[in-house]
Amino acid sequence: MRLTGVGKRYGRGGPWVLREVELTLRPGGPVRIEGANGSGKSTLLKLLAGIERAERGTVEAPAGRAYVPERFPPALPFDVRDYLCHLGRIRGLAAGEARRRADHWLERFGIAGYAGTPIGRLSKGTCQKVAVAQALLAEAELLLLDEAWTGLDQAARGELDGAVAERVAAGALVVFVDHDPTRLAGLTTAVHRVDGGTLHEVPLPAVDGDGPRTALVVEAEVLPEWLPGRPGRKPLADGATRLDVPAAHSDALLRRLLAAHPPVHIRSVREETP
């Protein structure tokens, strides 16, 4: 995915929100876009999603794109499951598969009980879960998340973290905006900052190495290349691998390992205080 010399402004004669933006992204890990309020992060994601058009330059992005907007329009004349199935069909899924995926994501986000509820009657957080589900259901090559965690309860935030790790493991490119600097820390492979209308790559924040750590002994044919917390990996004499991460990343790491294909057998998990 590549942006070359991209310029964007809203309306003729309006100020340029983005100027001469150059960006090349490859699958490998989630990419964070950061910047102050109003700097142009959502605008950049809309360009990548194909929702806004650049006045200058070119945007090359895969056709298979899914997007969670910062504001999801809740006044849609659909029940939750019908809406998800409808979007699945638009994205080329057969009716049965669209329904299977809709039910899968409703279940994972704990909102199966709302399948028959009109979207306009949902609470804000439940509506956000639907917004996230519609994007995940597509299994798109490019997944764009604009503050998608905002308003989700803790369990759903964890589900979304896990879903991002699964998309990355499947070879998708994930680009996200979030004001929490620890969001997907350890999994993120690049950070780009929007400032003064242009984009600069910034160094990845260090994963904290001084606090408590978690050591896991796992057995697997192949371990996923990207793991939350960027764990140290030490092969053991009996063929198992010892993974070592800051304890703050252990839940995300466990979730990722439990969702791995081929499966990973977790032999032991131990907290270690320095």
Ligand X SMILES: Nc1ncnc2c1ncn2[C@@H]1O[C@H](COP(=O)(O)OP(=O)(O)OP(=O)(O)O)[C@@H](O)[C@H]1O
Residue 148 found at the interface with ligand X (CB under 6 A): no
Region binding ligand X by CB under 6 A among candidate stretches 31-39, 126-134, 201-209, 220-228:
31-39
Binder of ligand X out of 3, 17, 61, 132 (CB under 6 A)? 17
- Cβ-based nearer residue to ligand X, 39 or 134: 39
Minimum distance from CB of 269 to ligand X (Å)?
Answer: 37
* CB closer to ligand X, 186 vs 197: 197
Shortest gap between Cβ of 202 and ligand X (angstroms)?
A: 15
Under rule CB under 6 A, residue 263 binds ligand X:
no
Judged by CB under 6 A, the residue of 41, 108, 183, 192 near ligand X is 41
**Min dist. Cβ of residue 208 to ligand X (A):** 26
Residues 42-71 that bind ligand X (CB under 6 A): 42-43, 70
Q: Which of 27, 29, 40, 228 binds ligand X (CB under 6 A)?
A: 40
Q: Judge whether 215 and 244 are in contact, CB under 8 Å.
A: yes
Q: How far is the CB of 21 from ligand X (least distance, A)?
A: 12
Least separation, in Å, of the C-beta of 67 and ligand X? Answer: 14
Distance, CA of 151 to chain centre? 15
Long-range contacts (CB closer than 8 Å, 24 or more residues apart) made by 168-172? 168/27, 168/28, 168/29, 168/30, 168/226, 169/224, 169/225, 169/226, 169/256, 169/260, 169/261, 170/139, 171/27, 171/141, 172/27, 172/139, 172/140, 172/141, 172/142, 172/143
| Site of interaction with ligand X (CB under 6 A) | 10, 17, 35, 37-43, 70
